[in-house]
Structure formats: structure tokens, C-alpha cells
Structure 1
Amino acid sequence: MTLMMTFSPDFLKMAKSLRSKWKRKMRAEKRKKNGPKELARLKVTLGLGVKGEISMKDVQEIATVVPVEKLKEKVADADMEGEDDTANMDMDSKRSKKTMLNEHGQYPTWMNQRHAKKLKGKRTAKKGKAKKQKGLAW
């Protein structure tokens, strides 16, 4: 027997308190109020409010303008050369995959201390150190 439940969209919203509803309402009103101002500011920033179109001469003072065809050729050439590089690229070629140690005996930076301690315990147990039996020694 399967039990099917349907959820209303209100159920999927996490916050339902009066305070959060009020905050949501006020944020929506703020967006309505500030929307036209932000749009006008964006148009002025882009230069659309003054002339209707951005002139390339103004942009050339700030950045170098390169035709699209040259960029496409450059990307295509980089893809052809990059195939060999990506095949040979490893995270760290001198790192042991079993112990995760590099040539200096260091673990990777992303590994947490608990995991490193666990691996160290496995490594020392394999070296031949026998663990003591718990209990009375008679």
C-alpha cells in the first residue's frame, strides 16, 4: 500500500511566522519602490540613458576591444593545444593514492584531521605493531 501526499506551495515555504511574513511583504514593497530608481541608475551607468547606445570609443579608453573572430580563433587554438595538457594533468603526481601522503609526509590540505588520524592508524597497524589485548594480564 502506497501513501501519496500532495503539498501545497505554502507548505514548501519554510518560514511561516508573522514576523517573517511581514519582512517578506516589506521587502517586496521596497523592491517596487526602488525598482525604477535602480533601473534609471543602471541605464545611466551603461550609457543607455544619454545616447541610447554605448559607443566603442568610450569603451576603448577603458579596455582593449578585440573582434569576435580573433577571440574564436584563439579559443579554438587553445582547445587543440589544451587536450594534451589536460590528459597529463594530475592533482599531485608525487602523492601516494593509498596513503594520501606526498613526498614530505603531508596530507592534502582539504583532508580533515579526523580522516588523517584514521589513515595513520591503518598505516601503523599494517607495519606490525600488535595491539594490546584488553583485559586482565595473568
Structure 2
Amino acid sequence: MAKSLRSKWKRKMRAVKRAKNAPKELARLKQALAHGGTGEISMNDIQDIATVVPAGKIKEKKVDVDMEGEEVDDGKMDMDSKRSKTTQLDEHGQYPTWMSQRQAKKLKGKRMTKKSGGKANKKKKGIAW
């Protein structure tokens, strides 16, 4: 893909833009590093390079949320815990909304063969000799 004339032109122009802006970007980074070595850096100097948020502000936000008694996000996804992991069925016998009909039919077939003891009494299609 990405072999059209338009995409080639866009890539070429992006490369030209990078080459044009590289000296300015390098000068900004050198200036930021030079200030960082002496410890005399102001937030206004770096503000045009990066978004600056003081660490204390972030910590205060986190502490305020914990103190209010709200649920603390422990990084786990909200999942329906009443769903069987093997059959994917919930307590009402419904499959998840994201599951296609073909997948549901396949799982139902597996479930039915397990119930019948693994014996599939299906007639084979075709010519019986």
C-alpha cells in the first residue's frame, strides 16, 4: 500500500519539514539540557518544548480521590463476573454482545456434544451405499 503519488509527495514534504525544523529543535534541546545541568531552569523556558505539570499537583489529585471514599481504580477492567468462562454464557443464558452468531453456534455445538456424552448421533450427508 502507500505507493500512490500523493503518499510519496506527503512523505517527501514531511522529510523536508523535519530537515528544516531539526536545527531549531536541536537548539531548544541543548538549551534545556544546559539549564538542567546548573539547576537554573524556569518552567517558562521549557513550556514551549513540553507540557509541564508540577509533581505536587498530581500527588494532591491522587490523594484527594483516595480521601473522598470513592472507588480507587486498581487497573482492572470492569468485567461481568457472572459469566461462565468456558461457555461464555451469563446467568440468563445469553452470549456477550460482541460475539458473532457463528461463534455462538460453534460454542453451543460443543456444549451439546458434551451433554450427550461425546456421542454425536448425526446422520452423515451424502450417498449411503
Q: TM bucket by the smaller chain?
A: 0.3 to 0.5
Q: Which has the higher contact order (CA 8 A, sep 6+)?
A: 2
Q: TM-score, normalised by structure 2?
A: 0.44
What is the TM-score of this pair, normalised by structure 1? Answer: 0.42
